[in-house]
Structures are given as C-alpha cells and as structure tokens.
C-alpha cells in the first residue's frame, strides 16, 4: 500500500472537544506515531490531538522514552518537525506513560498470569472512566499495540464508559513494516526502507489506514447505575449483566409533528402543538447527538433552533395563523427560559400520566442536566429508539 506525498497539514480540529489519544502499547511504539499520523495527516477532517496517554508495561515505557521522546531525535519530535506540528501543543511526556502494575502495585514486566490480567483490567477500566467523566473530552482509543489482552480490555472499557464522540481505532499498515525499527510513520520526504522480506520500499509512500471500530455503548443506557460503579472490572461486568437482565422495556418513541401525534409504543401522548414542537426538537437533537454529543441542548442552543421550530409550528397551524405570528413575536429576540422550563415540565407530567409502570418513563421525559454553569435539556432514550417522521 503506497500513497503520494501529502502536503503538510497543521493539526486543527473542527470541534470544541479536547482531543485525547489513548494507546495500549508493548514493545512497538510505532503504533503511537502511526496512529497520530493518521489522525492528523490522513483523517478528514484532521484531529487536533491535545494529549497522548500510553498504557504499557515497564519495558514498554523504556522503549517509548528511548524511541519517541528522546529530545530532538525521538520519533515524536521528528514527526512534529516534518509535519509542522508544535510539540508543545501536545501534552506527551513521561508522566503520560502509565505503567501497569500487578495486584501488589509492582510495575509489570509482562502480563503472564491470570492475576496480572485481572489487575490490569481494573486499571484500564478506572483510567478510561476517569477520562470519559470529563464531558469536554473526546477519546481516540488505539488498540493495535501490546498483548491482545490489553486490546480486548481497552475495547471493553470503552464499551462501558465511552460516549457518542469517542472512537475505537486499529492502525493498519503493510505487514512487512509492522513494528519495523526504521518505520514509525510515512515521512514527508523520499526515504527508502528495507522490509523484513528484503524488499526496498519508499517509506513516504506507505499508506497508513485506521479502522474505526463500531462498539456498543452502555454508558448512557445504564447511566443511573454506572454513576455508582467504583469496583473492579469483574464486579462491574457482573453488576452490569444483572442490570441488563432486569432492564424495563423501551418501546419506540414515534413523533409525527404534522399529524400532531406523539406515541410511545401504542400509547398516544396528548401534547399541545407548542409542546410537540419543543419535544420534537429534543428528539431530533438526541438522534443527531447534538450538544456535547449526548443530545442535550442548553437554552442558548435551543435559541439557535428557533427558525426550525417556527417552521414546524407553522406546519401545524398554517402560515397565516395568528398563533404563528404571536409565537414569532414572542420569540423575536430569544425564547424566554422560564417558558421553556414550564413547557418541559408540562411535557414530562403528561408523559408520566400516560405511560404505565412497566415502562421506564424516565427515558422519555425531558431531563435537565447542569454542566459548567448552563442547564441542558434532553431525552435519555437511546437514539435508535426514536423515530421522527417529518414531511
């Protein structure tokens, strides 16, 4: 797999996330720079990585420090120089290399026993949970390096705590260059490398691909229960399984705004036109994972949806209705926050009154979540259970 030489690209991100690369690595630190290269130079749009964390063993740490982080000639620094990246803009040093330990907190040379594996599982789970608890971050978890045990555990940890914005990655290059001592990323200039098969290849034309692996996200599904999870990996898995086994049914939420219909399964919810407009907007935000990736919107973000909601309201009454003109005037500058809160309370009350006890009503009501000084509103229902049918 070869490629043309790309132009240098600065690492700029189109989102407001603090982008974090997390890599499990053994004695092949090449996977770190290869993944960094892909995210910043190949992925479109590029990802502006702010921090890099490595989960590895003691020998892995020493190899990373030598191969990547030796001042000036370390491959991390040469990558930054070649691709016009400011290395001081990425938090990556010895403190970002987390050496995994055994049950007695002794740094591991390797993962050889079941006890070692259990101790590592607890550490990876706690580490990913800590990073994912910050709503301003987006995690890019690369599982190409290290023993297969590490890769599997990283995938499980992201499945338990990952958010909609987080990605699970596997870096792919030609097999005869995997872990090659002279290949850490495609350089931006002509450079020949001799592969293990004795073939000379143009390193700058080697293609680095990354498979973004879809995974089942359980964090939101089990948000209430998971907020209390402080135990290790095995107890967490056992507790989650018991929770899944007892989860209530979640009938689909079907909204047909133009027909003034809102249904939860076979149950019709008697909402007024204005309530349908607002509830539809929150349902769409959930489906499209707006806000901070969880579908929850602040009052300011809802104000940005005024035109769309007015058009939807107009569909219910017709363009020349006095109802539409009155709402347009009331919303001329902004939607009054007090009115929003009042409407959301009425919507939730009507849903609670209509839905029977065997259904998890809290997934359908409007939920508020205060974060960083702003209250956000949304639905906890998984996006795949929502169907908005608009003309």
pLDDT value at position 253? Answer: 96
pLDDT value at position 276? Answer: 94
State the pTM of this model. Answer: 0.63
pLDDT value at position 370? Answer: 78
pLDDT value at position 235? Answer: 81
Low-confidence ranges of the chain (pLDDT < 70): 1-15, 220-231, 246-248, 371-373
Could you tell me the CA-to-CA distances from 71 to 86, 180, 263 in Å, in that order? 14, 21, 62
Contact between residue 18 and residue 50 where contact means Cβ atoms under 8 Å apart: yes
pLDDT tens, residue by residue, 119-167? 999 999 999 999 999 989 999 999 988 788 899 999 999 999 998 899 9
Q: Which two tokens stand for residue 321?
A: 């209705």
Count of beta carbons in the 10 Å neighbourhood of residue 375: 14
Angle at 248 between CA 269 and CA 345, to 5 degrees: 35
Q: Write the CB contacts of 90 (distance below 8 Å, at least 6 apart in sequence).
A: 49, 50, 51, 52, 80
**Chain mean position to CA 158:** 9
Distance CA 222, CA 226 (A): 6
pLDDT value at position 286? Answer: 94
pLDDT value at position 4? Answer: 46
Phi-psi region of 291 (alpha: psi -120 to 50; beta: other; left: phi over 0): left
Backbone phi and psi for residue 325, each to the nearest 5 degrees, phi listed first: -65, -40
The three-state (H, E, C) secondary structure of the chain, written as one string: CECCCCCCCCCCCCCCCEEEEEEECCCCCHHHHHHHHHHHHHCCCCCCEEEEEEEECHHHHHHHHHHCCCCCCCHHHHHHHHCCCCHHHCECCHHHEEECECCCCCECCCCCCHHHHHHHHHHHHHHHHHHHCCCCEEEEEECCCCCHHHHHHHHHHHHHHCCCCCEEEEEECCHHHCCCCCCCCCCCCCCEEECCCCCEEEHHHECCEEEECCCCCCCCCCHHHHCCCCCCHHHHHHHHHHHHHCCCECCCEEEEHHHCEEEECCEECCCCHHHHHHHHHHHHHHHCCCCCCCCCEEHHHHHCCHHHHHHHHHHHHCCCCHHHHHHHHHCCCCCCHHHHHHHHHHHHHHHHHHCCCCECHHHCCCEEEEECCEEEEECCCCHHHEEECCC
pLDDT tens, residue by residue, 234-257? 888 877 777 777 666 789 999 999
Taking the CA atoms of residue 256, residue 259, residue 260 and residue 265 in that order, the dihedral angle to the nearest 10 degrees is -50
Contact between residue 227 and residue 24 where contact means Cβ atoms under 8 Å apart: no
């Amino acid at each position: 797999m070869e490629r043309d030489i790309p132009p240098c690209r600065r690492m700029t991100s189109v989102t407001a996330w603090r982008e974090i690369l997390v890599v499990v690595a053994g004695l092949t630190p090449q996977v770190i720079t290869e993944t960094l290269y892909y995210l910043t130079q190949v992925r479109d749009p590029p990802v502006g990585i702010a921090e890099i964390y490595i989960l590895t063993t003691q020998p892995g740490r020493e190899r990373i420090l030598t191969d990547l982080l030796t001042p000036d000639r370390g491959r991390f620094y040469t990558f930054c120089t070649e691709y016009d990246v400011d290395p001081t803009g990425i938090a990556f040093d010895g403190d970002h290399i987390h050496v995994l330990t055994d049950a007695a907190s002794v740094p591991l040379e390797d993962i050889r026993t079941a006890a070692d594996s259990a101790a590592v599982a607890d550490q990876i789970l706690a580490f990913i949970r800590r990073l994912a608890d910050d709503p301003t971050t987006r995690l890019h978890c690369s599982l190409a390096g290290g023993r297969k045990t590490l890769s599997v555990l990283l995938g499980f940890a992201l499945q338990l705590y990952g958010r909609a914005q987080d990605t699970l990655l596997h870096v792919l290059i030609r097999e005869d260059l995997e872990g090659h001592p002279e290949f850490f990323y495609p350089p931006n200039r002509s450079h020949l490398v001799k592969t293990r098969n004795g073939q000379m290849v143009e390193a700058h034309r080697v293609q680095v691909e990354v498979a973004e692996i879809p995974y089942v996200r359980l964090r939101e599904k089990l948000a209430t229960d998971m907020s209390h999870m402080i135990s290790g990996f095995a107890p967490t898995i056992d507790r989650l399984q018991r929770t899944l086994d007892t989860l209530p049914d979640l009938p689909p939420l079907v909204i047909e705004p133009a027909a003034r219909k809102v249904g939860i399964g076979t149950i019709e919810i008697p909402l007024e036109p204005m309530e349908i407009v607002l509830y539809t907007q929150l349902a769409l935000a959930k489906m499209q994972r707006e806000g901070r990736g969880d579908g929850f919107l602040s009052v300011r973000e809802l104000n940005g949806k005024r035109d769309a909601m007015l058009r939807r309201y107009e569909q219910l009454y017709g363009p020349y209705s006095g109802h539409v003109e009155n709402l347009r005037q009331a919303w001329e500058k902004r939607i009054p926050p007090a009115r929003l809160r009042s409407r959301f309370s009425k919507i939730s009350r009507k849903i609670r009154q209509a839905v029977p006890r065997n259904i998890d009503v809290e997934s359908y009501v409007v939920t508020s979540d205060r974060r960083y000084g702003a209250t956000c509103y949304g639905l906890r229902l998984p996006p795949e259970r929502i169907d908005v049918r608009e003309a």
